[in-house]
Structure 1
Amino acid sequence: MHMTAKTRCLLGAASLGVLALVSAVTPSPASAQSAQATAIDLPAMPMAEALQAIAARTGETINYDPDAVQGLTSRPVRGATNARRAAEEAIKGSSLAVLPGAKAGLVIVIDPVILNEIVVIARRDEAETSALVRQSSTSDRNGLGLRNQPRNTQVITAKTIEEQQALNITDILRNAGGVSALVNTPNSGASYTLRGFSAGGLVNGLTTTSQYGVNAGADQPVANIERIEVLKGPDALLAGFGNLGGNVNVVTKKPSAERRLAVGFDTGSFGLVRGVIDANGAITANKKLSARVITSAQTMDHNYGGYTGDKNWLFAPTVRYKDRLTDVVIGASMNEGSSGIGAFTLFDNKTRRIIDRDPSRPIYAPNQGIRINTTRVYFDATRQIVPGIDLVVRGTHDQTLLKLRAANVGYSRAGALIADTQGSRQDGSSSAIDSFLRIKTRIGDGVKASFNFGYNYSDGDGAQQSGLVYNRATNPSLDANTPLVVIPWSAFGDVQIRNGGKQEGVYGQALIEFWKIKVLGGVRKNWFESTSQTFFAGPSPLLVQRKSGVSPSGGVIFDATDNLSIFANYARGEQATFTVAKDGSILPNIITNNKEAGVKLDLFQKRATINASYFDIQQDNIIVRDPADPTNLFPGPGQRGRGVDLNIAGQLSPGWTVLASLTRTKYALLTTNALQTVVANQPRDTYSVYSTYRTKISEGVSGGVSAGLYGRSSSFANLLGQYVVPSSRQIDANAFLSLGGFDINIGVRNIFDRRNYGSTSIFSYVPVGEPRSVRLSISKRLF
């Protein structure tokens, strides 16, 4: 219905009068408890269901017009002590109001003032207050909640990150199924693979310098992270880059109108000291404009490998303008950090067994580490043009510097142990913009449709330098009693290699909803450009190469019951390749076919959700080196991964939450040769279970405990399967206490002090997991 503002106000007033009359003649139950002692906790859910649940738990009569709440989703309710407070929390940010009934109970009506004025986000995002989120962020362009998307997406929230006392992204990704994360290595910054394929990393749905050769482009301090979305299969195609098995999208925190100032302090093993300040609130009287500033600083004496301790700082200011038609976020983040390389060992090249050494002693020297500086500016704007038509525009610009000072430990061709020291530097920048028009309409009485048409652009460049002095030490001792050597690192020379790239894409998606079925289809056309230049003996000619590709995708979800849905999807990925064969020809693009089918199940009155799926990913045209002539490259049949992916998140009972994942994948090469027979660095199984229980201890005091199990199966450490990294598992435990406005968290990581080795594809570098360590976190909300 197309109604004027005056008509909507009249209807709102009429609904208020009718519902007030109903409440006047409807007696409330004698057992109604308006001030129920038990706290009310509810996740986000359809508004009608939330109001019914509040009424059932409190015994309070709640009347509402079904048409007024249709299509609305409630906000999460946390710790409400009566029906009115619970209802007010549930409707915050909507066009509804809570009023007392004429005789008893509550009445939920359309608020005429809000209809003509503004809609303000009054609370932080659900990811900051809950382990379960139902709303999508930047990973979907149709406005669908995660529960209604025909794909398997796992979300790790800020609440979980805080409880687990995670300090970096690789630490957070322990919770994600199918992800193999590599800590800072002697060759680059942090990196990870998803379902067997490399993932570059996104920030707020947009590419970063990690897509253009600077490996740490998506890494950052965790204080500004709202959620991490693990986008599996077709989700990765939204950004247009390869990321053929999926991607990892880091979503940063946004301002709200909630007035809030919180401070946090952490300390722990290895001299850890960390502080965080989070200030948020409206800065205008009408609450249309809000701002948020997050700062953090961290220092450590040394890491658990005995190398340089982690030191970093972050400053992240953000402003937001939001009214009934417009939502604009503009922000920046500046962070600088240094971290020692992680503890590691290597395989003995004769026995092919892992060298058992004291991992707390540095190999060769303790002053080996990585320094990362990142400056990022970004914006995200949504504007309703007319009812049913929205324009969305997002953009970001990154400037990243990565300096590496580390020894490459390995074996010479003669088989002797060596350590090469030189150091390297990478400077990179990237820009990205994504804009699309979203149209929502109805086709007849029973069909809803959503269309979006968009344009995506990104570019970036990276320059690489090396240290002026190259040094090789032969037979460096791995003995813990050998005195350590301080390496005099040299200055960096001139730029030796400069690489760049550009990508443009146009895309369209259609979502059709009818009966219990949602059908999603889309296609993307990409144009790729690559540039490269070397400067070893003077500047070479600038090499420019161009290609294009098409990526179609589709999916369907069927709501079998109110709590059970069945989904399936398909996507074809295409990654531009500019590698040149020996005969001078450019190899064809790498092609991937992603197929997935599964179920989504809501449990315990929608307080928890299970996603379970079977996936099949096949990559073709992978670059193969000719065993008879290693200088020749050619396209060959590639890699296939088939497996199951199981995730569960939410509240199983009042106070008890669980976040768990299990991914089992069967990796296989479609052809083998003398140089490659297995898929390296990919464990068959990855799993995690994290569970928290909180309860009220006494008046004004609450507490709880949590435990987490994180592990993976064995994996190959080289392409011929000669070296095998054993399985690993780690158990963490935490205890929580809240009193007097303070939240205290004491955690013990790797509580059984198990020696764990990480996955690797290089047998001369095997990461060693952290030993048993202790952390203490104290936070206080000042207002």
Structure 2
Amino acid sequence: MNKIALAVFLVCNSGLLMAEEAAGNHSASSALTEETVTELTTLQIRAVKENVGYAVKQAATATKTDTPIIETPFSIQVIPEEVMQDQQAYRLEDVVKNVSGMMSLPSPYSAAYETLQSRGFASEPFRDGQRIMFLTVPLANAERVEVLKGSAAIQYGRVEPGGMVNVVTKKPLSTTHYSIQQQIGSFNTYRTTADLTGPINEDKTLMYRVNAEYLDKDLFVDHAFDQRTFIAPSFTWQPSVGTSLTFAYEYRNEKEQAATGVPAIGKRPASIPTSRFFGEPNLQNHFKAEVFNLTGEHEFNAHWTVKAGIGSYRGNYQYANVVNAGLAADNVTLSRWGLGSNYDHRNTEDAYIDVTGKFDTAGIKHTLLVGTDYHRFRNYANWSDWTLPDININNPVYGLVSKATLKSSPVTAWWSRTDQWQGFYFQDQLNFSDKLYLLLGGRYDTTDMSNGFAGTSMADANAATQTKREHEFSPKVGLTYKPYEWLALYGSYTEAFGGWASTGVTFSGEMLDPESSKQYEVGSKGEFFDGKLSASVALYELTKKNLAISDLAHLGFSLSNGEVTSKGIEFDVSGKITSNLSLIGNVAFSDVTITKDTNGTQGNRKANTPHTMAGLWLKYDFLGDYLDGLSIGGGIYAASSAHGDDADTFKLPGYARLDAYAAYKLKVGTHNVTAQLNINNLLDKTYYPSAQGRAQVFAAEPLNAIGSVKLEF
């Protein structure tokens, strides 16, 4: 039956595959017992029991309800904790390689910044539905990562059309469990993590969890490094079944120096060692950030539930960056520029309330969501522009200007920015039968944006502030048809009201119009082998409008009439084929085209968007014999060539890389011990996944290994 079901699924999707070709070419650790599950609420029981191993059947990110993924008319992929553990992932970059069409673009300014990209557009990171500003999200307390593609995430406010990457954190449990893991690897990598959870009182209505991480790692690029201390305590009070209150806090202290990348020469990256560094040693960025969250949930009865939360993010940044500016005609002399600041404060406040009700009308089952949210972001900063001597890319000499001289440079700019919006949203999921589901929803936003800039003082920046108010309604509609319990066909249409608006201004001094996007998507989802294997196919067209582009008639000013269109097809699969063999894999074919521009790039493929991307990770568990406890596996990740810049002046060559994995689990007394080794880029391939123009082309890590020992008790 499973083979027949899988064949039917492939036949149903063959039309999507042909259309694309014609167009274009949990939860707790495995050591936790069943007792843990029985003491959680009804929703938590479902999440734990159905999301097992690599297979995930439930995710709330897309709808904010308990709708199964197979009944959701949008593309959503989930990377569970077991996959992250098997791959020893500690950055979102390590995670999103498991999702079709996704990649990470490193920043030349900070090793702590990470720009995620899906379907050719930015995908914003969230933590439990709360927006995280400008920094990566540590994974030490991550239970799973849910990725919602495209512009479907309108319940969360102004989201980039690439979608959202929501890190769902570990919650306090009512059963005591402790674990500690030590990782040691290439490039002087040392990472220690701890996870402690359990009840505080005898009746187990008050629970705690503490996750902590210490990271000390050199990058493969000379002089670049990353050091991080992270701690995340949380507490849950559950006075009765269906009622809970959770307080969560995160503290992060990070020091790092970013890689600078290499320049392009001719049509490809320069043939110089990828470890070469063109900044200044001993400069570093320093970040401190805190996150506060208070969330509550109450079930009035079996039909009505209210959820609410407030959150705050506080970030203080000090940075000292030297980045590549441009390569001279001799293809040897690299110009550089620098930027430093000891005053950059970024704060956010968030609040939301959601009411969910389930009821019937005329034989139609409804799941109704009504909610409102508020978000405010404030940024106050100053910085200094640095003048630095050129550097020879074949024989770099550092220290021609002292660190003290750079750090004492006068402040040249002050910046003040406040963005705030309030949204009201609704969603009704109508179940006409066990086969037909209709989703109707929308969001109305009121947004206020203000920017102030001056070269003299913060007071002058505040005095020069411009403000713009926008109102917008964004609809979404989706239809799902399930001809069989294990197969769903769906279609959806969504619109979204911009992400972060450009900070540019027009020649007349006005702030730019907000960006917007719309998406059409059709696809299918299937569950096989008694739900142990999930697969999905999505065909989409996504357009982003009002992009900021240069005003060629007035240099230094911008226009908001750029446009990019992304079309493609994506395939994802995850779960178990047999009791021994698990996999997670993906393939994406995309065509991301600049459809409107004034800079001569109209009709070009957007930079950093390979036509084809694919990944496959396999794990084999030896069970019931003398090798019981041993797991082996590995992965292959590949991409076709891509444009290095929008003007297509150089290419990023295609690549394929291999990873390998082995782990052994055993009992030592009453404790579980796991020893693990991962080898990445096994064949030591040199390749360049992304670039930020001709001056900054970023190589991937060469051959590297990381080993770990984990103790659970």
TM-score range, shorter chain: 0.7 to 0.9
Letter aligned with residue 196 of structure 2: A
SS of the residue corresponding to residue 162 of structure 1 reads helix
Per the normalisation by structure 2, the TM-score is 0.87
Matching residue of 2:131: 207
Among 718, 722, 728, the residue aligned to 2:655: 728
Matching residue of 2:450: 531
Letter aligned with residue 285 of structure 1: E
Question: Is 2:70 aligned against 1:147?
Answer: yes
What does residue range 132-281 of structure 1 map to in structure 2 within 5 Å?
132-186=55-109, 189-208=113-132, 210=133, 215-216=134-135, 219-281=136-198
Distance 1:763 1:137, change over 3 A: same
In 2: Cα distance, 1:478 partner to 1:577 partner? 33
C-alpha deviation, 1:483, in angstroms = 6.8
Letter aligned with residue 472 of structure 1: L
In 1: Cα distance, 2:490 partner to 2:426 partner? 21
In 1: Cα distance, 2:389 partner to 2:316 partner? 28
In 2: Cα distance, 1:172 partner to 1:771 partner? 18
C-alpha deviation, 1:591, in angstroms = 2.8
Distance 1:664 1:732, change over 3 A: same
Question: Is 2:531 aligned against 1:606?
Answer: yes
Q: Where has structure 1 moved over 4 Å in runs of 4 or more?
A: 74-80, 88-91, 118-129, 412-416, 480-487, 491-495, 576-579, 584-587, 697-701
In 1: Cα distance, 2:77 partner to 2:212 partner? 27
Distance 1:180 1:303, change over 3 A: same
Matching residue of 1:711: 638
SS of the residue corresponding to residue 670 of structure 1 reads strand
Gaps in structure 2 of 5+ consecutive residues? 1-25
C-alpha deviation, 1:697, in angstroms = 6.1
Moved more, 616-625 or 768-777: 616-625
C-alpha deviation, 1:289, in angstroms = 1.7
C-alpha deviation, 1:699, in angstroms = 6.7
Letter aligned with residue 441 of structure 2: G
Letter aligned with residue 512 of structure 1: L
Corresponding pairs, count: 667
Among 24, 38, 59, the residue aligned to 1:92: 38
Gaps in structure 1 of 5+ consecutive residues? 1-73, 95-117
Moved more, 485-494 or 374-383: 485-494
CA offsets, 1:677-726, max 9 Å, x none? 32222222222111111113657951111101122222212221111111
Distance 1:220 1:370, change over 3 A: farther
C-alpha deviation, 1:635, in angstroms = 4.0
Matching residue of 2:432: 514
C-alpha deviation, 1:223, in angstroms = 0.9
C-alpha deviation, 1:395, in angstroms = 2.2
Q: Report if the CA contact (8 A) 1:334-1:375 is conserved.
A: yes
What does residue range 668-679 of structure 1 map to in structure 2 within 5 Å?
668-677=593-602, 678=604, 679=606
Letter aligned with residue 753 of structure 1: D
Moved more, 239-248 or 520-529: 239-248
Moved more, 530-539 or 276-285: 530-539
Matching residue of 2:577: 652
Matching residue of 1:546: 469
Distance 1:287 1:570, change over 3 A: same
C-alpha deviation, 1:584, in angstroms = 4.6
In 2: Cα distance, 1:75 partner to 1:536 partner? 50
Matching residue of 2:309: 394
Distance 1:702 1:685, change over 3 A: same
SS of the residue corresponding to residue 472 of structure 2 reads strand
In 2: Cα distance, 1:341 partner to 1:126 partner? 42
C-alpha deviation, 1:274, in angstroms = 1.5
C-alpha deviation, 1:282, in angstroms = 1.4
Question: Is 2:355 aligned against 1:437?
Answer: yes
Matching residue of 1:4: none
SS of the residue corresponding to residue 560 of structure 1 reads strand
Question: Is 2:561 aligned against 1:643?
Answer: no
CA offsets, 1:484-541, max 9 Å, x none? 7685151586671111110100111111112111111111100111122224124142
C-alpha deviation, 1:325, in angstroms = 2.1
Letter aligned with residue 581 of structure 1: T
SS of the residue corresponding to residue 696 of structure 1 reads coil
Larger Rg: 1
CA offsets, 1:601-641, max 9 Å, x none? 11111101001110101123333334444455434361111
C-alpha deviation, 1:414, in angstroms = 8.0
Per the normalisation by structure 1, the TM-score is 0.80
In 2: Cα distance, 1:410 partner to 1:659 partner? 40
C-alpha deviation, 1:260, in angstroms = 0.3
Among 678, 691, 707, the residue aligned to 1:747: 678
In 1: Cα distance, 2:294 partner to 2:83 partner? 26
In 2: Cα distance, 1:719 partner to 1:440 partner? 49
SS of the residue corresponding to residue 175 of structure 1 reads coil
In 2: Cα distance, 1:205 partner to 1:77 partner? 23
Distance 1:580 1:484, change over 3 A: closer
Matching residue of 2:20: none
Matching residue of 2:417: 499
Aligned-residue identity in percent: 18
Distance 1:718 1:487, change over 3 A: farther
In 1: Cα distance, 2:466 partner to 2:28 partner? 54
Among 685, 702, 708, the residue aligned to 1:777: 708
In 2: Cα distance, 1:418 partner to 1:393 partner? 51
In 1: Cα distance, 2:78 partner to 2:139 partner? 15
CA offsets, 1:380-407, max 9 Å, x none? 2110123311111122110112333231
Distance 1:131 1:429, change over 3 A: same
What does residue range 415-454 of structure 1 map to in structure 2 within 5 Å?
417-424=334-341, 426-444=344-362, 446-454=363-371
C-alpha deviation, 1:755, in angstroms = 0.2
CA offsets, 1:179-218, max 9 Å, x none? 231124237822122212223322111223x2xxxx21xx
Question: Is 2:621 aligned against 1:694?
Answer: yes
In 1: Cα distance, 2:103 partner to 2:493 partner? 23
In 2: Cα distance, 1:652 partner to 1:775 partner? 28
Matching residue of 2:278: 363
Matching residue of 1:325: 242
Among 211, 216, 222, the residue aligned to 1:306: 222
Matching residue of 2:382: 465
In 1: Cα distance, 2:562 partner to 2:643 partner? 20
Matching residue of 2:691: 760
C-alpha deviation, 1:144, in angstroms = 0.9
Distance 1:552 1:427, change over 3 A: same
In 2: Cα distance, 1:162 partner to 1:249 partner? 18
Q: Report if the CA contact (8 A) 1:465-1:493 is conserved.
A: no
Letter aligned with residue 446 of structure 2: W
Moved more, 235-244 or 612-621: 235-244
CA offsets, 1:435-458, max 9 Å, x none? 1111111224x4211111111100
Matching residue of 1:41: none
C-alpha deviation, 1:410, in angstroms = 2.3
Distance 1:369 1:696, change over 3 A: farther
Matching residue of 2:322: 407
C-alpha deviation, 1:780, in angstroms = 0.8
Higher relative contact order (CA 8 A, sep 6+): 2
Distance 1:365 1:289, change over 3 A: same
Q: Report if the CA contact (8 A) 1:381-1:392 is conserved.
A: yes
C-alpha deviation, 1:249, in angstroms = 1.3
C-alpha deviation, 1:128, in angstroms = 9.0
Distance 1:76 1:181, change over 3 A: closer
C-alpha deviation, 1:645, in angstroms = 1.2
Matching residue of 1:71: none
C-alpha deviation, 1:127, in angstroms = 9.9
Letter aligned with residue 321 of structure 1: W
Moved more, 409-418 or 326-335: 409-418
C-alpha deviation, 1:598, in angstroms = 0.4
In 2: Cα distance, 1:487 partner to 1:417 partner? 19
Q: Report if the CA contact (8 A) 2:582-2:619 is conserved.
A: yes
